[in-house]
Amino acid sequence: MKSKPLAGAPSRPVRLYLVDDDVAFASLLGREISGWPEVQLAGYAPSGRHAIAEVAARDPDIVSLEASLKDCDSLALATTLMELCPRVLVILLLSGFSDFLIYRIAKSAAISGIVVKAADIPQELRQAIRSVQGGHRHFPRSFDDARRALWQKPDAFFKILSEREQTLIPLLGSGATNDEIAGKVGLRPAGIQAHRQRIMSRLGFHRAQDLMLWQQRPVSLGCLSGLSCETRPISTDYLGPFQITRRPWEG
């Protein structure tokens, strides 16, 4: 049984493309979305590679993107998807925030909204779709609170690391070797090792694993129940500085 469209929903269905490597979650979410008359499922990608390969052909209005994909950096993928489909809007689905993720989301022009995987996820995603399609950002107020608190820290990592060092953190924290990272960024392995040592020293880490854990360490958002979100017009000064033949929801 289809539900009624939300008040203020667009006259034509919004084409939504799901990118999530948790197939069970995507299946449940896809079945729920299939009952929304204002949303049309444009496709599903179980990895970043699949999304890059077919998103242009799927031509979605909105991409629902899992923030912790195993095969790629989801924030970098969001930017790539926008380059492939300039008009697409990206809603990030995540289980929690770390200081590093808060900072990267704040710096990214590719993210139009956030949905936390807690409370009533389908309805929160439905509201986020309506918000971003209407020209607004959709972020939990608690995200804004966490972002402001991070910006006020005198020892916040982005205040003590260079821009180059910040861009290397996702690679250094991925478990890749110095040789692998050097091949991706055009530096010598010795240079990558020097950056690694400086970053770990400035952040007070002693093991490579500490850097990996730090990127994922969640901060308390106070939003795991009764999630409260606000919408706001999209503004440039908002926060400062492959094809598969069977979709999960098809049985």
Domain locations along the chain: 14-149+219-233, 155-216
- Angle, CA 216 vertex, CA 113 and CA 195 arms, to 5°: 110
**pLDDT computed for residue 2 by the predictor:** 46
125 contacts 93 by C-beta, under 8 angstroms:
yes
Are the folds of 14-149+219-233 and 155-216 the same? Answer: no
Considering the domain delimited by 155-216, tell me its CATH architecture: Orthogonal Bundle (1.10)
Placement of tokens 């008009």 in the chain: 87
CATH of domain 14-149+219-233: 3.40.50.2300
Phi, psi torsion values for 61, nearest 5 degrees: -85, -35
Using H for helix, E for strand and C for coil, what is the string for the chain?
Answer: CCCCCCCCCCCCCEEEEEECCCHHHHHHHHHHHCCCCCEEEEEEECCHHHHHHHHHHHCCCEEEEECCCCCCCHHHHHHHHHHHCCCCEEEEEECCECHHHHHHHHHCCCEEEEEECCCCHHHHHHHHHHHHHCCEEEEEHHHHHHHHHHHHCCCCHHHHCCHHHHHHHHHHCCCCCHHHHHHHHCCCHHHHHHHHHHHHHHHCCCCHHHHHHHHHCCECCCCCCCCCEEEEECCCCCCCCCCCCCCCCCC
**pLDDT computed for residue 67 by the predictor:** 92
**pLDDT computed for residue 174 by the predictor:** 78
Burial class (CB in 10 A: 0-12, 13-18, 19+), 124: buried
Handedness of CA 211, 26, 55, 36 (dihedral sign): negative
38 contacts 62 by C-beta, under 8 angstroms:
no
**pLDDT computed for residue 32 by the predictor:** 93
**pLDDT computed for residue 40 by the predictor:** 95
pLDDT in tens, the chain (251 residues): 445 454 455 568 999 999 999 999 999 999 999 999 999 999 999 999 999 999 999 999 999 999 989 888 899 999 999 999 999 999 999 887 788 889 999 989 999 999 988 768 899 999 999 999 999 999 988 888 989 999 999 999 999 999 889 888 888 887 789 999 998 888 899 999 999 999 999 989 888 888 888 876 655 443 333 333 333 333 323 223 223 333 344 43
Cα separation, 175 vs 59, in Å, equals: 34
